Amino acid sequence: MKDSTLPCNPSSPLPSISSSTPPCAADQEALSETMIEESISRAEPIIRKWDLGMGGLQKFSSLFVDDRREAKSFFEAATSLQQAINYYLKQSAASEELIRVRKLMKVAMKRLEKEFHMILSANRKNLDSGSVSSRSSRTRSSFSEFFEFSEEEVNSTSPPRTSPPPPPTPGGNAKLDAERATEMAMADLMGIADCMIACGYGRECIRVYKSIRKSMVIESLYHLGVERLSHPQMKKMEWLVLEPKIKRWLRVVKFAVKTLLQGEKILCEIVFSEKVAESCFLDISCDAAWNLFSFPENVAKCKKLLSPEKMFIALDIYEAVSDLSPEIESLFASKFFTSVRAQATAAQAKMGEAVRTILGQFEAAIQKDSSKSPVAGGVHPLTRYVMNYLVFLSDYSVHISNIVKDGPVNPQTPLPEPQFSSLTAVSEEDPSATPISRRLAWLILVLFSNLDSKAAQYNNAALPYLFLANNLNYVVYKVQNSNLGLLIGSNWIRKHESKVKRYLAKYEKLGWSKILSSLPENPTGEISPKEVKECFKKFNSSFQEAYKKQCSWVIPDPKIRESVKASVSKRILSSYLVFHQKHRGKHAKDCTVESFIRYTPEDLEKYFSHMFSEAAGVVDNNFKFPKKVVNIHC
């Protein structure tokens, strides 16, 4: 006899075996069998209605299209069949009832597998990585609301609140419609997965899921332009072929990790329970992640990368992997992803080694540069190249600091004994300086060691000091106006500003002392007319010689240029003006006065005003500037 308290509404929840507590074992057995038979009777019409093998279904119609109450009833029917299977297995593994229920279960699972496949395939756009990753704040349990109904909704024939939204109307909110469609597809997949796994068909469900989602990840990476390239393949490529592939990888790697793979993990964790989700994500993403992070490691092994002009693309790769490290650790935290995390770590380490190698090559290139010095004593192209290079290095300050810090401490190459300069490295001035500060200051010292040897090429005693002053001033300016100042420190800047002043003072002394010595120490003192003429003649000769040599010399910095002109003009004109005023009048009637008083103070002022302004004789060293450096305004 059937329990009259069981609900007879076919859309109401199916009864559970545990809902009754019989007073004795015999009664319990009879009641349980009755409830099982009742639940099968109630489940069968629901399952048969959606049987894919029924001839009446000419066109596939989804359980989830019109009313999710129907889908919930189907889930409950399948669950009750599983309860029946468990019950009959305890009775007899070969009973006719068990065979019948299992056949009915296959019909139900075949239907759900088809639904699962259709939802995954039809919602490729709604379930793309960008749409899914934006749902990261929602928990798995929150999606169960799509299958929760009140008693009134269960008994009602009107559309429930979880029915699909109507088609978007013109002027409607397309974004909200898309978000709703994404959430409903995720909820449907979760409901099917939970039901199939509970009914013992998890393998079939997971197989379909992995197959479709893995193909989507592979397809996405293909459209992003990520290629699977081995080290031997890269070795055979010309740089002009490899470089665009590196740049493409740099453009997409952040999206691939933070959106594509992150979205896949979120979807797995919503559709499946924790352990199953972890297994699915591993199979779907492992190959893609390995492909992403083996690329930079293989690039780092290529010898064609190891040259100073490739420094910044190497740093871009290192930066990309380093900046993604927190996401990589979080995304692939499971023990099953050890190889992926190791691959990313190895890629970063290899690229760090490549950067240190390139830095050593850059230092060697500075030391070996044998280009001539500019005829006019201006800023050497080598100085501009090196400082622009270092300025760009300082833009990667955090990463270049880590690279230098993590590397071995290489002994510094001995430098030639300086002839003019007296620069020191940061390590000598400040033992507490960071490794990157010492490294950068050492590279500047290597530069000046080379410039010191170039200064020796001049056959004039004063010009080397003007040359070194111009170049050191340019170096200090570049350090002050970039991240180099933060890395090397204000103490270094102050000391080298003082050295610029000392170079200029040395230049003034050697370049103009002969002119000053042609005038008497006391320009107002009494001397004979013959001595006056000799003083003027010596002044004329020495000034003409000095001006002829120095009129083409340059000081590129406007502030220093005006300062030097004012200083030289003051030193010479102050003495010459007094001497000229005292003796010009005495010889006014002398018919030969023009032969020995050639310059008036006003003439000298004009000559000085035109000095150091025009660049001349700049040497073209045919430097191969890195692309980032080329566009710098020097």
Provide mean pLDDT across the span 374-398.
93
Provide mean pLDDT across the span 176-196.
89
Structure tokens at 496: 């080298």
**Cα 276 → chain centroid:** 33
**Cα 563 → chain centroid:** 44
Provide mean pLDDT across the span 227-242.
92
Q: Where are the beta strands (DSSP E) in 163-297?
A: none
The pLDDT value given to residue 64: 81
Q: Which of 25-29, 525-529, 619-623 has the lowest mean pLDDT?
A: 619-623
* Alpha-carbon gap, residue 16 to 80, rounded angstroms: 7
- DSSP 3-state assignment of 282? helix
Residue 632 banded pLDDT, cuts 50, 70, 90: very low
User: Model confidence over 570-589: pLDDT tens digits?
Assistant: 888 888 888 888 776 565 55
CB environment 154-193: b (16+ within 10 A), e (fewer): eeeeeebebeeeeeeeeeeeeeeeeeebbbbbbbbbbbbb
Provide mean pLDDT across the span 71-89.
90
The pLDDT value given to residue 430: 61
Torsion (CA) 274, 276, 277, 281 in degrees, nearest 10: 140
Nearest CA to 369 out of 351, 389, 353 is that of 389
pLDDT at 361 over 80: yes
Q: Which of 91-95, 179-183, 420-424 has the lowest mean pLDDT?
A: 420-424
Domain boundaries in the chain?
A: 17-154+175-198, 208-349, 359-490
Residue 372 identity: K
Q: Which of 102-111, 553-562, 572-581 has the lowest mean pLDDT?
A: 572-581
* Alpha-carbon gap, residue 123 to 192, rounded angstroms: 15
The pLDDT value given to residue 214: 94
User: Model confidence over 84-97: pLDDT tens digits?
Assistant: 999 888 887 778 88
* Alpha-carbon gap, residue 520 to 325, rounded angstroms: 75
Q: What percentage of the chain's residues is helix, strand, coil (to nearest 5)?
A: 70, 0, 30
User: Model confidence over 426-456: pLDDT tens digits?
Assistant: 545 566 678 888 899 999 999 999 999 999 9
For 115, residues 6+ apart whose C-beta sits below 8 A from its C-beta are 62, 63, 64, 188, 192
- DSSP 3-state assignment of 260? helix
pTM of the model: 0.79
- DSSP 3-state assignment of 259? helix
